[in-house]
Amino acid sequence: MNPCFYWIDRPVSFRPGETIAAALLRAGIADLGAGGGIVPGRVFCGIGACQACVVAVLGEGAVEACLTPARPGMRLAPPPSLGPHHERAGHE
């Protein structure tokens, strides 16, 4: 059985060596949520340049899903503190 990480509460399995982005897309998760911003995140440029696929890793920080190898047990969510509405993020 393939290892898995969690997108919010949903388990997402991945193949060893795969990036977070590849695993999310294969699971049909294209909309990465607006988080603290106003435009939903999504995998776009694949090279860490556009920052649209930045996800929050619980206990670590924010990383580009397209660059970051998936690890078993990681807990991922839309980043709460990116975009123009970051000042509100703490109250929502």
63 near another protein (CB under 8 A): yes
Q: Does residue 70 contact residue 76 with C-beta atoms inside 8 Å?
A: no
58 near another protein (CB under 8 A): no
For the record, the structure tokens of 3 come out as 């290892």
Q: How far is the CB of 82 from another protein (least distance, A)?
A: 6
Q: Which helix (H) or strand (E) is 77 found in, with range?
A: strand 75-77
Instruction: Specify which residues 57 forms β-bridges with.
Output: 76
82 near another protein (CB under 8 A): yes
Chain contacts with another protein (rule: CB under 8 A) = 15-19, 21-22, 25-26, 30-32, 37-52, 54, 60-64, 66-69, 82-84
